[in-house]
Structure formats: C-alpha cells, structure tokens
C-alpha cells in the first residue's frame, strides 16, 4: 500500500511539472516567435479554462534594498547570539564544582550505554545486538526498565544487558534516568563516558569509535550529540519529516558542529558533565539537587542541553555520529510530539530566563513568532488580492525569486533521493507542512498564556499503530 501511494504521488507530481513546462514553452513561443519580442505585451500562460498573464513590471529596487538590509541584520544578529553563547566557555561555572571522580584507566575510556525502556520488548532484540556490532563495542549496556507491563527486563537480560528496574517512578524518562545515574554514580570513574540511547534508535556503525576518539583528543568537550535522520516509510508525512531533518543537519554542519540540542535519541556525555549538572541543580541551575535530568521538564534533552551550556561545558555534534530515529506515522501523533517539543522549549526558557546560554534559543523562538505573523499576513493579503483581480499577474522578478527558492528547497534535501526532491519541488506541499507546524506553535503559545499544563503524552510506536 505504501509503495502504491508513493508511486501515485510521484505520478501526480510529474504530471504537474510536465503541464507547467508545456505552458511555459507555449507562452515563450507566443511572445518571442509569433509576436514582437520588444513590445510590452505580457507573457500569457494558458491552460484549458484558465489563463495567467506574466507582466515584466517595474524594477522593485525598494524591495531589494529592504531585503538586503534584512539579510545583513539577520546575519549580524546570528553572529551576536552565537558569540553570547560562546562567552560561557571563557569562564565556565563548572570550575566551581567538585568533579573529582575515582581515577579511571589512563589508556582507554569505559563506554557505558544507558537505554531507558518503557515496554520496549519488541525493539530491544534489534537495538542491543546492533550495539555490539559497533566498530568500537560498548563495555557495558544497561537497560533501565521503567514501569513496564511487557517482558522488557527479561528480554534485556536474555540479550546480555544489565537491567535496572525503576521503583515508584512517576517522572517518566527523566525520572527513570535519574534513578539509573544515582546508582551508577557510586562506581563512576574519571574515564567513564555514557551514551544515552533510545530503545528504538539505530546508530551509524562508527558512532562510538568516533565519539571516543574525539573526546580523547579534546579535553574541553564534555558532550557529543548525534545527528538524527528519519527512518524510511510512512508515506508523505514521513517524507516531510525526513526533509525537515535533512535541513536541520545542514544547519548544524554550517554551524561547524555547534550544538542546538543534545538529542535524547543518542548523545554521549563524560561522567564529569553529568556529575556537574547533578551538583549544580537547585543552585546554579534549576532542578532538584542530585538529579541529572530535570523531572519537571517535558523535554528533558533540551533542558539538559541548556543546563550544560549554562555551566560552560563544551559540546559538539559530529557529522560521523549519525542516528536513525522513528518518525511519527500519523498527523495526530506528529501534532502531539511537536506540541510537547515546542511547549517544553518555551517552559525551559521561562525557567532559565534570558542569559548568554539561552540567548540563541530566545532568538529562535522570536524568529518563529515573526515567521508565523509574516507568513499568515502575506498569504492573507495574497488571497484577498487574488479574489479582487479578474486575472492573476505574475511578474518576472517574482518568478525568478520563486525559482531560486525552489532550487534551494530541492538542493537542501538532494541527498534524500527523488522522493525528497519531488516533495520539495512543488513548494505548496512543504508550505502546507509549515502551516501545520506554525499552528502548533500558536497552540503552544495559547496554552502557555492560559497556563494550561502540557502533558508528556505517550506516543505509540509504529508497531503499536499498525496493530491498532
């Protein structure tokens, strides 16, 4: 069924492209071969029962000037926000903390994989053996079985993993990890590094090897974030998410590995970094003393990233450390996921306030808010103007701008193959997806103003959705 839907979508897109190509050829032929190419006669695009007129129009110098100034201001703002974020590294607050641990091995690191798992009996037989196929296998694998009603713990043990079962945990993933790290802290050494890995996530084969080598050569780095890509499948909604993730990875690469979020799907931490966060909670940063993760946050990975940045711990995202994670298979689950992400980010910023560590995050939220207002306003006036006209005027300048935009959208997902390119090229599909995400942002803002509490919300796995 999914292959049939993909083929059908591809055929529709091909028909649209061919139609636009033929109408363009017809319009150019009518003006430059059948008519006078030097007169003011507009290009006429004709379709059965409908026609468009393309008018050269005046040179929009004012628009270009404003656009160039806007681009320059955005660039300056980005540099300022990045600089403010880096200021924490000059005089890090973690130097005030006692991060002394038992002396570990001087020759190698001990890699400990911690897998929080709630009813993951179906995923563990895939995830755990794959870890041992890493070019640098982990030294220990610990599954944190949290409030499971299936055979998660038994399956983990049968696959050779250590198991920590949570006790009376009411704080979801954050609470489960806090209980695990509370136990692990008793035997931590200075050479320990942790990989916190979701049970439904697969890593690139060299992930651990690259991370260990990088940490060994860079004492100033305390955490490494994975670059995540979406799993295959799930039709159009899956492709839209994959395109979104492709562009996010490009942003990280262009920022030379600067971390925006240490993804909860797979990130590596030095033991000293997690110890520092636990010590600083309730004093230098929000949270309960002794907890690594803030149990009050519904986006624990975003909050931990801000916590580490606030304390001045260096971090990076490496291109070689890639992660394949699950995608949301339905619009309702995607809405729930993004609502939690967006609301969690807003709550975390409200908790930390405006600091050098959060400046860029505040800038992102303001940028999203501006984008919402600008996009909705632009499309509102476009619709009103279109309804008031007898026929649509398309100016050459705007056709050029649109063409550049299409090239950008397609180019940024080129590595995703033809399915990614076909979804990006028409623009309207991804514009509609942007509207969906912006409506989600508006909903989060409304809930925040109303002080409505956002629930964490269990998102069913694709297997659970298929069974239902």
Residues 259 and 118 in one domain: yes
Residues 32 and 114 in one domain: no
**pLDDT tens-digit map of 300-351:** 999 999 999 999 999 999 989 999 988 999 999 999 999 999 999 999 998 9
Residues 22 and 142 in one domain: no
Residues 253 and 381 in one domain: no
Q: Is residue 75 part of a domain?
A: no
Total domains in the chain come to: 2
Strand order from edge to edge, sheet including 140-145: 162-165, 140-145, 110-117, 192-197, 266-270, 221-230, 314-325, 202-203
**pLDDT tens-digit map of 272-281:** 999 999 999 9
Q: Is residue 78 part of a domain?
A: no
Residue 360: C-alpha distances to residues 84, 201, 343, 350 (Å) = 8, 28, 17, 14
Q: Is residue 87 part of a domain?
A: no
Residue 106 is predicted with a pLDDT of 62
Q: In CATH, what number is assigned to the domain containing residue 163?
A: 3.90.550.10
Residue where a domain terminates, one of 322, 352, 382: 352
Q: Say whether pTM exceeds 0.85.
A: no
Rounded CA-CA distance 87/94 in Å is 14
Residues 297 and 374 in one domain: no
Rounded CA-CA distance 298/344 in Å is 5
Q: Where is pLDDT greater, at 78 or 408? A: 408
Residue 81: C-alpha distances to residues 74, 75, 314, 466 (Å) = 10, 10, 16, 44
Residues 255 and 374 in one domain: no
Residue where a domain terminates, one of 352, 378, 406: 352
Residues 304 and 347 in one domain: yes
- Of the chain, the percentage scoring pLDDT greater than 70 comes to 76
Q: Is residue 14 part of a domain?
A: yes
Q: Is residue 243 part of a domain?
A: yes
Q: Residue 448: pLDDT above 70?
A: yes
Q: Is residue 66 part of a domain?
A: no
Residue where a domain terminates, one of 318, 352, 386: 352
Confidence of residue 375 (pLDDT cuts 50, 70, 90): confident
Rounded CA-CA distance 396/398 in Å is 5
Average pLDDT of the residues in 244-261: 85
Residues 39 and 143 in one domain: no
Which is it for the CA torsion 89, 90, 96, 102, positive or negative? Answer: positive
269: exposed, middle or buried (Cβ count in 10 Å: 0-12, 13-18, 19+): buried
Rounded CA-CA distance 248/117 in Å is 27
Q: Is residue 73 part of a domain?
A: no
Residues 369 and 347 in one domain: no
Q: Is residue 246 part of a domain?
A: yes
Residues 269 and 188 in one domain: yes
Average pLDDT of the residues in 280-302: 93
Residues 292 and 206 in one domain: yes
Domain that holds residue 196: 92-352
Residues 133 and 238 in one domain: yes
């Amino acid at each position: 069924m999914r292959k049939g839907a993909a083929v059908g979508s591809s055929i529709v897109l091909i028909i649209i492209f061919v139609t636009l190509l033929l109408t363009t050829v017809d319009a150019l032929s009518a003006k430059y071969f059948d008519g006078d190419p030097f007169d003011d006669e507009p290009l006429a695009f004709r379709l059965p029962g409908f026609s468009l007129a393309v008018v050269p129009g005046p040179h929009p110098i004012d628009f270009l000037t404003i656009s160039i100034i806007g681009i320059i201001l955005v660039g300056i703002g980005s540099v300022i926000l990045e600089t403010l974020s880096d200021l924490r590294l000059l005089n890090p607050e973690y130097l005030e903390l006692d991060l002394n641990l038992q002396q570990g091995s001087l020759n190698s690191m001990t890699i400990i994989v911690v897998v929080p798992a709630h009813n993951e009996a179906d995923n563990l037989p895939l995830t755990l053996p794959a870890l041992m196929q890493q070019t640098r296998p982990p030294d220990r694998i610990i599954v944190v079985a949290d409030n499971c009603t299936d055979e998660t713990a038994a399956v983990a043990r049968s696959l050779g993993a250590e198991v920590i079962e949570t006790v009376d945990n009411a704080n979801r993933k954050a609470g489960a990890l806090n209980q695990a790290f509370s136990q692990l802290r008793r035997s931590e050494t200075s050479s320990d590094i942790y990989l916190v890995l979701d049970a439904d996530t697969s890593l690139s084969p060299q992930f651990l090897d690259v991370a260990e080598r990088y940490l060994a050569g860079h004492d100033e780095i305390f955490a490494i974030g994975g670059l995540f890509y979406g799993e295959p499948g799930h039709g159009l909604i899956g492709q839209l998410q994959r395109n979104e993730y492709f562009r996010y990875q490009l942003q990280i690469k262009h920022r030379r590995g600067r971390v925006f979020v240490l993804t909860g799907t797979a990130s590596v931490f030095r033991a000293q970094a997690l110890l520092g966060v636990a010590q600083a909670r309730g004093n230098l940063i929000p949270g309960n003393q002794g907890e690594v993760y803030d149990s009050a946050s519904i986006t624990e990975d975003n909050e931990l990233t801000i916590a580490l940045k606030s304390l001045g711990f260096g971090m990076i995202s490496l291109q070689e450390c890639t992660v394949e994670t699950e995608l949301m298979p339905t619009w309702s689950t995607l809405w729930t996921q993004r609502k939690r992400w967006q609301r969690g980010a807003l709550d975390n910023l409200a908790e930390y306030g405006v600091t050098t560590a959060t400046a860029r995050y505040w800038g992102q939220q303001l940028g999203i808010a501006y984008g919402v207002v600008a996009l909705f306003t632009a499309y509102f006036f476009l619709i009103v103007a279109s309804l008031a006209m007898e026929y649509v005027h398309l100016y050459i300048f705007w056709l050029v701008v649109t063409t550049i935009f299409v090239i950008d959208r397609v180019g940024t997902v080129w590595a995703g193959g033809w399915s990614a390119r076909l979804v990006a090229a028409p623009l309207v599909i991804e514009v509609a997806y942007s509207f969906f995400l912006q409506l989600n942002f508006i909903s989060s803002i409304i809930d925040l103003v109303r002080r409505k509490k956002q629930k964490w919300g269990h998102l069913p796995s694709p297997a659970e959705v298929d069974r239902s």
